């Protein structure tokens, strides 16, 4: 599920961004804007993931696996 991968990528990016913003004990407006932009992206991809999960539930489940990217999916 590509949506899960994107959620995980953005979670890491958000954690890093927050850590950098609070490292000096002060969050600037620019840092808050940066963190908020990432959080908004995370909110969107989380919504996409939930949509995918709703489809899976409606289908009664699907086969899951790892894609190699070499046409062997």
Is the model's pLDDT at 72 over the cut of 70? Answer: no
Answer positive or negative: Cα dihedral of 65, 69, 72, 73.
positive
5-64 pLDDT tens trace: 999 999 999 999 999 999 999 999 999 999 999 999 999 999 999 999 999 999 999 998
pTM over 0.75: yes
Closest CA to 10 of 39, 49, 52, 51: 39
């Amino acid at each position: 599920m590509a949506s899960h991968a994107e959620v995980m990528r953005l979670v890491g990016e958000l954690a890093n961004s927050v850590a950098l913003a609070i490292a000096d004990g002060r969050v600037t407006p620019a840092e808050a804007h940066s963190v908020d932009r990432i959080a908004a992206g995370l909110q969107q991809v989380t919504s996409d993931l939930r949509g995918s999960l709703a489809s899976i539930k409606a289908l009664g489940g699907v086969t899951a696996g790892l894609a190699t990217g070499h046409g062997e999916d």
